[in-house]
Every structure is written in structure tokens, then in C-alpha cells.
């Protein structure tokens, strides 16, 4: 969703809930590079962006989830708020977004960079 679309949701009081999985990187791209290409991430880092802070001056509501233990509670709260809401969920950028199924080739390519990193770390220690 674009910022202008969110502002339109605010204007018309649409009950749209936007969930942003925030890890300060292009996480899906990063892990696709690792799994499909066997390469470490390249060009995936983003500067920190406060998505919840954007929603407020646009006259929308916003909630940030920074404690996984409160995730369910906060989602329930967001769903009860009338009008548009941005829910920004902070996640670990090193946690892979796993697909529903993983092929053996993908698993091997996923493991390659980590095996190489261990070999290099062992030589440095």
C-alpha cells in the first residue's frame, strides 16, 4: 500500500488494517538470495523507518508490536479500532521467512553461506 492510499482510507474512514513486518531490510529478497543463489545478502539493508509515526500525522491510528508475547493482544486491539490502522511488527532480521515447502536444493543452498562463514570464522579464531 502506498502512503496516498492510506490517506484515502483515513479520508473515507475505511476499516483497513495494514500489518508491516519490520526488520529494516528487504527480508524476503535477502533470504531468496541466500536460498536460491547461495549468496549472502546484497543490497537488502534499509535505513530504519518508523512506519507507525507516518500514520499519525495522516490522521490514522498506529500501533507498534515490539514484544512477541503481546502480539495477539495488540492485533486484537488493532482490529477493534474503527478506521485505518497501521500495525508495525518488529521482527528479527536474521530470522528467515520460511516458505510452506523447501526443496532439498534450496536447503543445501541455504546452508552453503553458513558453512562458509563457519570455515572463515574458524580460521580467524
What pTM value is reported for the model? 0.69
Residue 65, pLDDT score: 96
**Grid cell for residue 36:** 536460491
Residues of the chain falling short of pLDDT 70 = 1, 27, 35-42, 96-100, 110, 113-125
pLDDT of residue 125: 44
Cα separation, 41 vs 34, in Å, equals 7
Q: How many CA atoms lie within 13 A of 74 on its CB side?
A: 18
Amino acid at each position: 500500500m502506498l502512503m496516498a492510499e492510506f490517506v484515502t482510507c483515513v479520508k473515507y474512514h475505511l476499516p483497513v488494517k495494514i500489518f508491516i513486518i519490520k526488520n529494516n531490510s528487504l527480508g524476503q529478497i535477502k533470504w531468496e538470495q541466500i536460498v536460491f543463489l547461495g549468496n549472502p545478502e546484497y543490497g537488502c539493508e534499509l535505513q530504519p523507518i518508523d512506519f507507525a509515526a507516518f500514520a499519525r500525522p495522516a490522521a490514522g491510528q498506529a500501533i507498534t508490536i515490539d514484544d512477541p508475547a503481546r502480539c495477539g493482544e495488540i492485533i486484537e486491539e488493532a482490529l477493534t479500532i474503527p478506521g485505518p490502522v497501521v500495525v508495525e511488527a518488529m521482527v528479527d532480521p536474521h530470522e528467515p521467512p520460511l516458505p510452506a515447502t523447501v526443496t532439498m536444493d534450496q536447503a543445501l543452498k541455504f546452508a552453503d553461506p553458513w558453512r562458509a562463514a563457519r570455515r572463515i570464522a574458524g580460521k580467524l579464531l
